[in-house]
Amino acid sequence: VYYVGGFGVMGWVSASEYDRSQPDPLADSMAEIIQHMNADHKDALVLLAKKFARTESQEATITGVDRLGFHVRMKTPDGIRGARIAFLREVNNPAETRKALVEMVQQARSQAE
């Protein structure tokens, strides 16, 4: 099976690997997580971008999330940038995602002080 993920992400996957594959556990809740974070936690996203993407930004929004982390789009003095931020550990549901994000924000806040 030839996989095309977009934006230059592609490769071959064996038929047995394809048969064993499973959807990401956050696939059904991804839109809700993204909407909630972008609407209710704008300051936290800027802080996460600074700490984990090492980018000073005026604004940061999540554009995708999965069990391993999330993609963030940042408005910086030099223009728009994107980054992938890994969770501290793999998550498997929205509750674990929330817990991981809270821990990451707490870590970023404690190191910013």
- With CA atoms as reference, report the closest residue to 64 among 82, 76, 80, 79: 82
* Amino acid in position 30: M
Domains and CATH numbers, the chain: 23-112 (3.20.180.10)
Provide the 10 A C-beta neighbour count for residue 98.
14
The total number of residues shown for the chain amounts to 113
Low-confidence ranges of the chain (pLDDT < 70): 7, 113
Predicted TM-score of the model (pTM): 0.85
**What pLDDT score does 71 carry?**
98
Tokens 């910013």 map to which residue? Answer: 112
As given in the structure block, the two tokens for residue 21 are 């594959």
